[in-house]
Amino acid sequence: MQLELSVDRGSPVPLYFQLSQQLESAIEHGVLTPGTLLGNEIELAARLGLSRPTVRQAIQSLVDKGLLVRRRGVGTQVVHSRVKRPLELSSLYDDLETAGQRPSTKVLVNTLVAASAEVAAALGVAEDSEVHQLERLRCTHGEPMAYLCNYLPPGLLDLDTGQLEATGLYRLMRAAGITLHSARQTIGARAATAAEAERLGERSGAPLLTMERVTFDDTGRAVEFGTHTYRPSRYSFEFQLLVRP
């Protein structure tokens, strides 16, 4: 079976990207079945009228995504397991929306406060300096699912309550021109305090899933510090990991 591949040199889309997109879609649609050998890079390059480095760049991006495996002396194969997207720095709001859960958000606190020692350390600002404080209740199907507390450095973003109820925080940040780069997360569990139980509709002492996160932009500035609690019956963290070679 010969896979139909072609590139358009008139397109502004890079050639390696055109190729990797076609391969990815062929894998996702089952045209390239698991275990298939791709054919060697030099022949593939000749067939497409591309240079070998360009073909390698396309293949490499799919290896990085976990869709292909390369073995010296053997060839490049489509991975057998259905690899979903590896873990990304994703927005809870976007994840829920993608899953068709129709999330809703209620902003309970949106104000400026003096940074506590913990918040100041996380955001890298002076203690007692002003920071934004945000508390939101996220529901799906009208039921509370998570309670989100966030702190943001001042002057970064217009935090409009209306917008915060219509979309997620990460999307607002990106729209404000902030380039998210990395985040440090801690996921744990503990018993709900009376106040937490009340907010989430659980009983006091019930198990809660917790997440603490500091997000950085590409200049290394902390742009957000959040402490979130989730109802474990309604939410868990699910992700794909790739072993780095």
Q: How far is CA 101 from CA 64, 138, 167, 222, in A?
A: 30, 11, 13, 30
Given the rule CB under 7 A, which of 35-43, 101-109, 126-134, 218-226 is the region that contacts DNA? 35-43
Q: What are the φ/ψ torsions at residue 26 (nearest 5 degrees)?
A: -65, -35
If one asks whether residue 144 binds a copy of itself (CB under 8 A), the answer comes out as no
Q: What is the CA radius of gyration of the chain?
A: 23
Asked if 174 interacts with DNA (CB under 7 A), we say no
Cα–Cα dist 180/215, whole Å: 7
Q: Which residues contact 140 (CB under 8 A, 6 or more apart)?
A: 96, 101, 102, 103, 104, 234
Minimum distance from CB of 107 to a copy of itself (Å)? 25
Return the number of the residue (114 or 189) whose C-beta is nearest a copy of itself.
189
- Give the pair of three-digit tokens for residue 49: 């009228």
Distance CA 136, CA 148 (A): 5
C-beta of 213 vs 221, nearer to DNA: 221
Give the one residue of 74, 117, 241, 243 binding DNA; rule: CB under 7 A: 74
Counting contacts by CB under 7 A, is residue 244 touching DNA? no
Q: Which is nearer to a copy of itself, 42 or 112 (CB)?
A: 42
Identify any residues that bridge with 70 across adjacent strands, giving them in sequence order.
76
186, 194, 198, 201: which one binds a copy of itself (CB under 8 A): 186
Q: How far is the CB of 14 from DNA (least distance, A)?
A: 4
Work out the widest C-alpha separation in the chain, in whole angstroms. Answer: 68
Binding stretches for a copy of itself (CB under 8 A): 34-35, 53, 64, 66, 69, 79-81, 83-84, 86-89, 180-191, 205-209, 216, 218-222, 232-233, 235-244
Binding stretches for DNA (CB under 7 A): 14-17, 38-43, 49-54, 56-57, 70-76
